[in-house]
Amino acid sequence: MVLSENRLIQQLPKAVRGRFLERCEPFELVLSAELSESNRVLSHAYFPNQGFISLVIDVDSHPPLEVGMVGREAMLGSELILGLAKTPWRALVQGAGMSWRIGADALREASEAMPELRMVVQRTLMVRLHQAALAAACERFHMIGPRLARWLLMSQDRAQSPSFHVTQEFMALMLGVRRAGVTQAAHDFQHNGLIEYRRGELTVLDRAGLETEACSCYVADRALYTELMGQEQ
């Protein structure tokens, strides 16, 4: 059995954690897999232990835009406890790893039987709402370079490693910009010794330098999580 490293599950009292995990199953997060489709009924919730998931919005003929990211600090499917089964976004595995998975009905039943679980899920849902608002403002007001630095830091946090797989095309899609803009910003970061990028593998060489380049939303996002969840991200 996979050892739980999900931060939400770790917050549960030991006895409650054991009862909840009895209802879950280990599930592999396969790179590029689509865990949910927009406006389709959610069948499961996911609690990543390693790896991470991007929440992507498709609007008309425009390129997809990332509006959220889920790693071991959060979960996919918190909306289910509200009785909602559809979301406006697609969930794409961006970083491979393992997770816990639980059926939608089983999650609702568990949240009713375990108040501690319901409280944790409600908090992470509130974090999601705040982060979505912050992401919208960031996309509107901040330049590509600072936004890319923020996105790389968020990805590194959830990958739990200085190196992770990502293509420039994917970075452009996640930021909702043309590939040429991302290519130039990534080139500048690499020229300044902040990152190394080879054949789809990106390595953060100078995290402090990348934090300096990132927009203020990165720090604001982490502070928001700490405030609402009662622990650091």
Task: Pick out the chain residues at pLDDT < 50.
Answer: 1-2
Catalogue the E-assigned strands of the chain: 25-29, 34-36, 44-48, 52-57, 65-70, 90-95, 97-103, 163-165, 195-198, 201-204
Instruction: Take residue 210 and report the two structure tokens written for it.
Output: 């990348």
Considering the four listed CATH numbers 3.40.50.1100, 3.30.56.10, 3.30.300.30, 1.10.10.10, the one that applies to the domain covering 143-214 is 1.10.10.10
What's 7-134's CATH class? Answer: mainly beta
The pTM of this model reads 0.90
**Residues spanned by CATH 2.60.120.10 within the chain?**
7-134
pLDDT at 11: 94
Exposure string (b/e) for 156-183, b if CB count within 10 Å is 16 or more? Answer: bbbbbeeebbbebebbbbbbbbeeebbe
Q: What is the pLDDT of residue 210?
A: 97
**3-class SS of residue 9:** helix
**Per-residue pLDDT at 2:** 44
- Residues 160, 72 contacting (CB under 8 angstroms): yes
Mutual orientation of helices 144-159 and 217-229 as an angle, nearest 10°? 40
| Strands, sheet with 195-198, edge to edge from the N-terminal-most edge strand | 163-165, 201-204, 195-198
- For 177, list phi and psi in degrees, rounded to 5: -130, 170
pLDDT at 115: 97
3 state DSSP class of 201 = strand
In b/e form, how buried is each residue of 89-107, taking b as 16+ CB within 10 angstroms?
A: bbbbbbbbbbbbbbbbebb
